[in-house]
Amino acid sequence: MERTSGRGLTVITGASSGIGAQLARELGKQGAALLLTGRNAERLRRVAREIETVEGVTVETVPADLTRTEGVDAVVRAIENRDVDVLINNAGFATYGPHHTIDPDTEASLISVNCGALVALTHAVLPQMIERGRGTVMNVASTIAFQPAPLQAVYGASKAFVLSYSEALHEETRSTGVCVIALCPGPTSTGFIAAMNSPEASQSTVYGKVDSAERVTRTAVRALRKRRAIAVVGIKNSLTMNAARFAPRSVTRRLAARMLRPR
Domain count, the chain: 1
Q: Residue 140 domain-assigned?
A: yes
Alpha-carbon radius of gyration of the chain:
18
In this predicted structure, what is the pLDDT of residue 161? 98
Give 34's Cβ-side CA count (13 Å radius).
Answer: 35
Strands 230-232 and 178-184: parallel
- CA dist 196 and 238 (Å) reads 25
Q: Residue 1 domain-assigned?
A: no
Q: Residue 88 domain-assigned?
A: yes
The most confident of the ranges 69-73, 186-190, 241-245, 254-258 is: 69-73
Q: Residue 66 domain-assigned?
A: yes
Domain with 32, as residue range(s), is: 9-260
Q: Which of 96, 155, 165, 207 is catalytic?
A: 155
- pLDDT for residue 6 is more than 50: no
Q: Residue 2 domain-assigned?
A: no
Q: Residue 4 domain-assigned?
A: no
In this predicted structure, what is the pLDDT of residue 190? 67
- CA dist 27 and 35 (Å) reads 11
- pLDDT for residue 77 is more than 90: yes
Q: Which residues contact 139 (CB under 8 A, 6 or more apart)?
A: 89, 118, 122, 162, 165, 166, 180, 181, 182, 183
pLDDT per position as a tens digit, 230-246: 999 988 888 887 777 77
Q: Residue 28 domain-assigned?
A: yes
Q: What is the CATH number of the domain that holds 53?
A: 3.40.50.720
- CA dist 258 and 261 (Å) reads 5
* Mean pLDDT estimate for the chain: 92
Q: Residue 72 domain-assigned?
A: yes
Active site residue 96: no
